[in-house]
Structure 1
Amino acid sequence: MPFLHKIAGVVLLGALILGLTLPGQRPRRAGTVAHAGAASQAARPAPAASPQQVPATTRAPSTPAAPSVRPSATPPAPVRAATPQAVAVRANELGEIPVLMYHRIMKRPVLSLDRSTGELRAELTRLAREGYVPITAAELVSGRIDVPAGRHPVVLTFDDSSPGHFGLDARGQVEPDTAVAILEDVARRNPGFRATATFYVNDDLFGMGERAAEGLKWLIGHGYEIANHTVHHLDLSRMSQGGVRKEIGGMEDKIFRLTGRHTATFAYPYGAIPARRAWAQRDGGRYGFQGVFLAGWKPSESPFDKGFDRWAVTRIRSEGKIKENDCRRFCSTAWLDRLDENPGERYTSDGDPGTVSFPRAGLGRLGGRFRDLARTY
């Protein structure tokens, strides 16, 4: 072999060895996450949205991801002190939230679940005077609770989309003596009392017929939530997976066709739970809820409480202290009396939707993913 060829071979061999040993950036494997640290951040409540954004989206909402878990070797970050304002109003954002359940609203009630227009007005007026501010069911389950400091959230839910809930006259004005008309009037008379509610609707949408799309869009445009209550209001506990999904999906299809939006929450007819809760929570891209509501008998836990179950949110029947269904203890009048007598048990806002303020003694009840937002006193 000529001498120059030998030298070239030695140089080539040396370059190959150096290329294998010198440090350098390895190519990224397919599927590697570029910013893995971002996934480990504790979940935060979504920022407060405008009323038009809350009830629905243009596609089926995704199921919220499970909160990240801190490594056991890492000590939890110290909880910061509450603001002077939170202390002054005795904020407790781990307190209970009443979710009131209404059915037909009529001038003269006929059935046991009916409420008169006078009874509805009186109850809403009481809520306003006792410092409650209505929020939607979607805002509750997502933690988007934006009410003034010292005030208390309440969720008003109306089941079955009956004509007494809402209607529009020939001029497009809200029909008088409907639930919406009464709620709007109470809000006008009580500044700070927000005119909003969640309507769990069935196939016959407020008896509006061909004007149903107009009615739903009016409600959404004015900050109300349209939510799913199945097509025919059947007992889902007696139905197969296919039957459950047909009832829920059929109603979802209709709402989407009329509004261009999917719903965010669902309520079981009769409070009857199907054999598997997952059937009612999601069905591919057809529907996917953020929370599911029961018929109920007690206030809901705070969404920041580790005991809160977004798939089984409890409600309270609107009724006075009557014997039926043990309403002397478990219907709205009794519960509002109890919370008024025990103000430390109800949710009281610190005025800042980006923090969760409460007495230090409640720290053990806080959901772990909200620790970074916690403020105690």
Structure 2
Amino acid sequence: MVANVVVVAAAVVVLLTLPTAAVPRATPMAGPATGAVTGTPAPPSPSPSPDLPSADLPPPVTATPESARQVKANEAGMVPILMYHRIMKKRLASIDRTPAQVRQEMEKLARDGYVPVTAREFVTGKIDIPAGRHPVVLTFDDGHASHFALDGNGMPAKDTAVGIIYQVAKKYPGFRPVATFWVNREPFGLRDRRDQERAVQWLTSRGFEVANHTWSHPYLPGLSKAKVAEQIVRVERLLKKFGAGPSATLALPFGAMPRKRSTVQSGKWDGDRFAFKGVFLAGAQPSSSPFAKDFDWRAIQRIQSNGKKGECRKWCSQYWLEWLNKHPDKRYTADGDPGRISVPQKFRGIISSERRRQVNAY
């Protein structure tokens, strides 16, 4: 909790003090904020382009105690959920990352055996990745223009989040090209509803998750229950029009939890209901396994993507990824079997009671 409070405070200060010009808005023909490309997202294809790596999950295997032992499976281990904001050639805020920094971090994840899953897949326990690999959840807040745009050839622009993910997946075939984008009222900086729909459908048809980050990114502890519900429902209505709803996950603006936590878990406004399977904070450590007894879907920890300077020396991605590499027994390692939860015998008691029939201990 202390770590998350630190991150929330820092995020509020940074985002509320940025000049208006620092957050460019895209026109229907605008590319990402870096100015690298122009063009609008194309209508979704009925199937993923053959020019792009596939997000298909691998065929399942049947895990045994011996097979789990061989790969040192530990599906009670910690999972890094990385939090990104804007991707800019010149950073304007401490939480911004450059394309080179994002690409470098993702290539390191790929080399270290991490396989991306979406936030929805994580909270529902659908971590169907190869044996011996580790899940990572790549999350992008605010639906910024630097997260997704297509170039003149109809391909993801080079220095956008989606472009970088596909570049890394092509270089490292085991790096599954999926991520979660939590959006506000203008997904990916697009103002035209048809452009927004094309963008959302392009992503969801290729395995990406587009979900709820509230309508106007307010500080939720300062709002009434009704106003919180309105902020959530308005995004749900938007995504439903695009065929992407209902959202299974919500990222809290600034990572700030309302005084009454149930306010953001489920509710209704103006006749429309919402209910999430996972509510995500802004920091500042790896999450527990979704199969563990101490996993709290109502307040899921994330890690800010950043180096090790200042407040980030112990709370951000460089520190935690190094820590997990030094403590492999603490990290989630998959058994390759989506129907079983493999753990060393000493961790059998960590698994939640409703999942114990799935335990494969060795």
| Same fold, judged at TM 0.5 (above) | yes
> What is the letter of the counterpart of residue 131 of structure 1?
G
Cα displacement (A) at 1:256: 1.1
Q: 1:159 aligns with which of 141, 144, 155?
A: 141
Cα displacement (A) at 1:51: 6.6
> What is the letter of the counterpart of residue 103 of structure 1?
H
**Structure 1 residues 247-268: Cα deviation after superposition (integer angstroms, max 9, x where no partner):** 1111111111122531110010
**Structure 1 residues 144-195: Cα deviation after superposition (integer angstroms, max 9, x where no partner):** 1100000000000000011111012455322221010000010011011100
Q: Within 5 Å, which residues of 2 pair with 1:61-140? A: 82-140=64-122
Q: Is the contact made by 2:55 and 2:176 (CA closer than 8 Å) also made in structure 1?
A: no
Residue of structure 1 in register with 2:240 after alignment:
256
Residue of structure 2 in register with 1:287 after alignment:
274
Cα displacement (A) at 1:296: 1.4
Secondary structure of the structure 2 residue equivalent to 1:270 = helix
Secondary structure of the structure 2 residue equivalent to 1:106 = coil
Distance 1:264 1:328 in 2: 32
Residue of structure 2 in register with 1:17 after alignment:
none
Q: 2:306 aligns with which of 312, 315, 319?
A: 319
Cα displacement (A) at 1:269: 0.2
Q: Is the contact made by 1:166 and 1:175 (CA closer than 8 Å) also made in structure 2?
A: yes
Distance 1:152 1:297 in 2: 19
**Structure 1 residues 65-105: Cα deviation after superposition (integer angstroms, max 9, x where no partner):** xxxxxxxxxxxxxxxx9432111011000000000000001
Residue of structure 2 in register with 1:268 after alignment:
252
**Structure 1 residues 236-281: Cα deviation after superposition (integer angstroms, max 9, x where no partner):** 0111011101111111111111225311100100011112122211
Structure 1 residues 226 and 51 mapped into 2: Cα distance closer, same or farther (>3 Å)? farther
Cα displacement (A) at 1:286: 2.5
What TM-score does the superposition give when structure 1 sets the normalisation length?
0.77
| Aligned-CA RMSD value | 1.7
Q: Is the contact made by 1:231 and 1:250 (CA closer than 8 Å) also made in structure 2?
A: yes
Residue of structure 1 in register with 2:187 after alignment:
205
Distance 1:352 1:364 in 2: 20
Residue of structure 2 in register with 1:217 after alignment:
201
Residue of structure 2 in register with 1:76 after alignment:
none
Q: 1:298 aligns with which of 285, 303, 307?
A: 285
Larger Rg: 1
**Structure 1 residues 116-164: Cα deviation after superposition (integer angstroms, max 9, x where no partner):** 0000000000000000000000111111110000000000000001111
Query: Sequence identity of aligned pairs in percent?
Result: 46
Distance 1:265 1:256 in 2: 14
Residue of structure 2 in register with 1:239 after alignment:
223
Q: Is the contact made by 1:52 and 1:221 (CA closer than 8 Å) also made in structure 2?
A: no
Secondary structure of the structure 2 residue equivalent to 1:125 = helix
Structure 2 segments unaligned to the other structure (5+ residues): 1-53, 58-62
Distance 2:273 2:125 in 1: 24
Instruction: Find out whether 1:180 has 2:162 as its counterpart.
Output: yes
Q: 1:342 aligns with which of 313, 317, 327?
A: 327
Runs of 4+ in 1 over 4 A off after TM superposition: 50-53
Q: 1:362 aligns with which of 337, 347, 357?
A: 347
Residue of structure 1 in register with 2:295 after alignment:
308
Q: Is the contact made by 2:182 and 2:250 (CA closer than 8 Å) also made in structure 1?
A: yes
Distance 2:136 2:244 in 1: 28
Q: Is the contact made by 1:52 and 1:222 (CA closer than 8 Å) also made in structure 2?
A: no
May I ask how many residue pairs the two structures share in their alignment? 299
Structure 1 segments unaligned to the other structure (5+ residues): 1-49, 54-80
> What is the letter of the counterpart of residue 220 of structure 1?
T
Distance 1:322 1:122 in 2: 17
Residue of structure 2 in register with 1:330 after alignment:
315
Q: Is the contact made by 1:168 and 1:215 (CA closer than 8 Å) also made in structure 2?
A: no
Cα displacement (A) at 1:282: 1.4
Distance 2:131 2:206 in 1: 24
